[in-house]
Amino acid sequence: MSGNRAIAYKGSGTVEVIDTEYPTFELKDGPGVNPANVGRKVPHGVILKTVTTNICGSDQHMVRGRTTAPLDLVLGHEITGEVVEKGPDVEFITVGDIVSVPFNISCGRCRNCKVGKTGICLNVNPDRPGSAYGYVDMGGWVGGQAEYVLVPYADWNLLRFPDRDQALEKVMDLTMLSDIFPTGFHGAVTARVTVGSTVYVAGAGPVGLATAASAQLLGAAVVVVGDLNEQRLGQARSFGCETINVANGAPEDQLEQLLGVPEVDAAIDAVGFEARGHGGGAKAQEAPATVLNSLMEITAAGGAIGIPGLYVTGDPGAVDEAAKAGSLSMSFGTGWAKSLSFTTGQCPVMKYNRQLMMAILHDKVQIAKAVNATAIPLEDAPRGYAEFDAGAATKYVLNPNGYLTA
C-alpha cells in the first residue's frame, strides 16, 4: 500500500481532504509531531483500515483557530477500524479484527496506566502527560480522519468486538465508544450520578447528549440539559430529558420551575472553554468561566461536578489575556464553601469502554440515536465541520472506506 487520504486543518474555519502517506510502523516528522517522537519505532502497533471516524467538538475548537494547532495537522481521534497489518510485537490482536480505538494513547506500562489513568500516560507524549491522535500538543500521533491510521500498543489499546457481523450492524452506536460515550459516562460517574439523582448537564452538543444518556443509564431520576441552541435542546428532549434555554436566564431560576428547588444533586460541564454568558439571548458574549461558576451555584452542598468539557492552556482567540493562557475568573470560594468535588481532564476511556460496549450489544442504550449520528463520506467532511460549527444537532460520522454501505 502507498496511498491514503485524510482530513487536514488548513487554517481558521477550514479543513480539506488531502492525499497523504500510508502509515508505517515508525513515527515520521510532520505537523505537530514532537521532535522527540520522530523516528520512534512502533513494532507494537497495527495499521487500521478505518471503518468510522467521527467529527468531535474538540476538533472543532482547533478548526475555529482557538488552539495553537499547526496548519496541515491531520485531524481525528474518534476511530473504529479493521486491522489490516500488525507489527511483529503484536501478540493477541489479529488481522481482520474490528476494533474500537480509545482516543487516549497509552502505553500500558507506566505507573499511571497501571492504575487505570490512561488519559495521563507518561510515555507517549514528551511534552506532558496524556496523548491523543490528531490533536494539538498531544505528541504528534497522526489523526484518524483518514482511510488508514497507525495505532500503537495495540494489544493494550484496542477494544476488539466479539463478533464482526454484529459489530458492523451496530457500528453507528459502537463508533461512539472511542470518545463521547465514555467521556459522557465519565462526566456522569465523576459527578456521582446514581439511582434517583437529579442531574444538570451544561451543553447539548454530542458530549452533552452522551452525558445525559449516560446519566439515564446510571438511574438518574431526572436529567436537565441546558444550552442556547433550541435545535440541540430538542434533540435532548427526544430521549426523555428536560431542557432549559440559558439564553432566557439563569439556570437556577429555571431549575426551580422544573424541580421545585434551584439545585441538583449532580452537575456536568460538557461545554468547556468557549462558554457564553447566560441570560444574554442567543448571541450572548463569550465568558469562559460562566458554566463552571454556574454549576457551583446550582450543585447541592456536598455534591460533585464532572468536567469533561475541554479547557486549554493556549487559546489565541480568548476574550482576555488571562483566558489566553487558560486562567479563568472562577468563584472557587463558592465551591470550597459548599464542599463540592471536581473532576477534570481526559476521560480514561479504557475504564468504561468494554462495559459500554456490552450495554450497546445487548440493547440497553441507543447512543447513536441520542446524539443523532449521521454518516457522511470523507469528501463531505468540510461540510460536516461547517454545519456542526453552525450548531447542527448532529454527530457526524465519517465513512472513509464504504463500510457503512457494504
In the chain, which segments carry CATH 3.40.50.720? 180-343
The arithmetic mean of pLDDT across residues 188-210, rounded, is 98
Model pTM score: 0.96
The arithmetic mean of pLDDT across residues 120-125, rounded, is 96
Range in 39-43, 135-139, 165-169 the model is least confident about = 135-139
Which tens digits make up the pLDDT trace of 327-343? 888 899 999 999 999 99
Phi, psi of 335 (to 5 degrees): -60, -40
Q: Give residue for cell 497489518.
A: 85
CATH among 3.40.50.2000, 2.40.50.100, 3.40.50.720, 3.30.70.141 for 180-343: 3.40.50.720
Which tens digits make up the pLDDT trace of 56-97? 998 999 999 889 899 999 999 999 999 999 999 999 999 999
The whole-number pLDDT of residue 183 equals: 98
The whole-number pLDDT of residue 1 equals: 47
Asked if residue 406 has pLDDT above 70, the reply is no
Which tens digits make up the pLDDT trace of 269-316? 999 888 888 877 667 788 888 999 999 999 999 999 999 998 988 888
In the chain, which segments carry CATH 3.90.180.10? 3-179+348-405
Range in 154-168, 211-225, 270-284 the model is least confident about = 270-284
CATH numeric code, 3-179+348-405:
3.90.180.10
- Taking the mean position of all CA atoms in its chain, how far away is CA 353? 13
d(CA 111, CA 367): 33
